[in-house]
Amino acid sequence: MFNAANIITGFNLLFGVGSIIMTFSGRIELAVLAIFVGAICDFADGFVARLTKKQSELGKQLDSLADLVTFGVAPGVIVFVLLIISGAWDIISVNGGSFNDLWFEGTFGHNVNYWTSVYFNDLVGNMNVTYPPHFTGWYLFLPFIGLLIPFFSLFRLAKFNLDERQSTGFIGLPTPANSLFFASFALVLWDGFGEGDWKTVLSMTLIKDQVLMSLVVIFSILTVSELPLFSLKFSSFKWKENIIRYLFLLMSAILILTLWVWSLPVIVILYIIMSVVNNQFRKSTR
């Protein structure tokens, strides 16, 4: 039970839990870092299991349980908090406020923690005549849209365990890719904090409730869809057999070097587009 591969899977789970803790503490940029480390553990446990010949049904189930937390619950909680920020910005804008009313003096983490605290105070009805409620009506329910991510991830992971077609590729968007896409929104918000330039405007546009809600619904459906997607597992390193993988890795590296954290959502979209193109190419060659 407690072999090296399963212990690494356990660390994947712990980093997922750590991400949730960091999110509710306001440090959503560190929450994303925890998801990244969890993803490394997710890759390493399978590699170690194959290397030590300790692959088992128990390890498979443990892997799914850990993935549900790290790539389902954790990004869902991040989006939950991003929608709180989005709701706060909507309310401030309607009342004629500016970015200075949303992002006041202090660190990024302090600002996120402040609005999260205000939201939960309003959610549970802790009314105070000195501090009237900020979030009311629709804005109290808006953040819960983010919980569609863990909901659909649950079904995605169960389907993956039972679907024998996914030994060399994926059917539906993998939960790590879905997690990376939404976690990256927290990073671009962090990168745009306090800049007052295009980064601030674009990052706030990306977490706008209409935009983010639409993306949550679309990508959640993609996780349980029948869309074939290539995997990054190499059975050999021959160019002809892995051309789509090499091209994707090369383009991803270029995007990261040029766009930094802003490249992450683009890379996930690129992955989906290249998979669709690859599917069409394979059909035509047949």
Residue 206 shares a structural domain with residue 73: yes
Residue 109 shares a structural domain with residue 144: yes
Domain boundary (226, 246, 268) is at 226
Place of tokens 């309310």: 91
pLDDT band per the 50, 70, 90 thresholds, residue 125: confident
pLDDT band per the 50, 70, 90 thresholds, residue 235: low
Residue 48 shares a structural domain with residue 21: yes
Residue 261 shares a structural domain with residue 140: no
Residue whose C-alpha is closest to residue 154's, from 87, 97, 224:
224
Which residues are within 8 A (CB) of 26 and not within 5 positions of it... i.e. 6 or more apart? Answer: 108, 109, 110, 111, 112, 113, 114, 116
User: Is the confidence at residue 166, as pLDDT, over 80?
Assistant: no
Residue 2 CB burial class (10 angstroms; 0-12, 13-18, ≥19): exposed
User: Is the confidence at residue 245, as pLDDT, over 70?
Assistant: yes
| φ and ψ of 108, to 5 deg | -60, -45
Residue 286 shares a structural domain with residue 204: no
pTM, full prediction: 0.94
Residue 145 shares a structural domain with residue 88: yes
Domain boundary (226, 250, 265) is at 226
**Type of residue numbered 282:** R
Alpha-carbon torsion (213, 187, 249, 67), positive or negative? negative
Residue 172 shares a structural domain with residue 248: no
User: Is the confidence at residue 181, as pLDDT, over 90?
Assistant: yes
Instruction: Give the CATH number of the domain where residue 196 resides.
Output: 1.20.120
Residue whose C-alpha is closest to residue 47's, from 36, 55, 37:
55
Residue 26 shares a structural domain with residue 55: yes
pLDDT band per the 50, 70, 90 thresholds, residue 242: confident
User: Is the confidence at residue 54, as pLDDT, over 70?
Assistant: yes
Place of tokens 């929450």: 31
Residue 221 shares a structural domain with residue 240: no
Q: How far apart are CA 81 and CA 77, in angstroms?
A: 6
Residue 243 shares a structural domain with residue 153: no
High-pLDDT (> 90) share of the chain, %: 66
**Type of residue numbered 150:** P
Place of tokens 């993935």: 67
Residue whose C-alpha is closest to residue 85's, from 61, 105, 109, 63:
109
Residue 188 shares a structural domain with residue 277: no
Domain boundary (181, 204, 226) is at 226
Residue 266 shares a structural domain with residue 129: no
| φ and ψ of 170, to 5 deg | -120, 145
Task: Give per-residue pLDDT as tens, 79-107.
Answer: 999 999 999 999 998 888 887 888 888 89
Q: How many structural domains comprise the chain?
A: 2
Domain that holds residue 88: 4-226
